[in-house]
Amino acid sequence: MTQAFALPVSLMDAHGKGRSVPDDRWGNLMTAAQAGNGGAYNRLLTEVAAWLQRYYARRLPPSYVDDVVQEALVAIHLKRHTYEPERPFRAWMAGIARYKWIDRLRSINRDRFEPIGGFEAPVEDHGPAVTGRLDVQKLLARLKPAQANVIRLVKLEGYSIQEASAATGQSMALVKVNIHRGIARLASVIDSDDDVA
């Protein structure tokens, strides 16, 4: 029995015309896997592994990439029961991938060693990016969840207003209002922190 995984999703725009948003193919595969479809799960892990390989190849020295890909796949497997089908799969998976990347950066920093025979592999310093990301997460935690969620999706993950609306269940107008109010709140928090320092 074959199952269709790509279900079209349509939204009404401001003029009442239907517009489609990208389907969540991997989310559909994970949902099928949660229901016991092993073929869907194998296909999902194969495609996700290729994405993770590219993701880590841009962020880590080559000798670490395969290990971190495997760690991320194991984490996805162990956490698969936490995936909620109404949420975007890529955002859920990217969160796991980021945490595994940060874990590896920490372990690289802990396990520094002297290069053998004067050979040094160029490794980009990701420390400021990691620290900045952690600071952003702390700031977002000070907002209302609805505001933090749409700011994270639109401003950090690159979702469009429509996609964030579909992912959160908020209207497009409410997404815009929550982004505006959330950013204003963040600015006042940062200003008040600067006054204390």
Encode pLDDT of 90-114 as tens digits: 999 999 999 999 988 888 777 665 4
What's residue 1's pLDDT? 42
Indicate the range of 4-8, 122-126, 132-136, 165-169 predicted with least confidence.
4-8
Calculate the dihedral angle through the C-alpha atoms of 21, 22, 24, 28, rounding to the nearest 10 degrees.
80
Split at pLDDT 50, 70, 90, the class of 140 is confident
**191 near 157, Cβ under 8 Å?**
no
Position 142 scores a pLDDT of: 86
Mean per-residue pLDDT for 154-180? 90
pLDDT given at position 137: 77
Neighbours of 72 (CB within 10 A): 26
Q: Set out the domains of the chain in order of their start, with CATH numbers.
A: 1-111 (1.10.1740.10), 126-197 (1.10.10.10)
Q: Across all residues in the chain, what is the average pLDDT?
A: 79
Give pLDDT, residue 15. Answer: 43
pLDDT at 105: 86
Nearest Cα to Cα of residue 90 among 20, 190, 167: 167
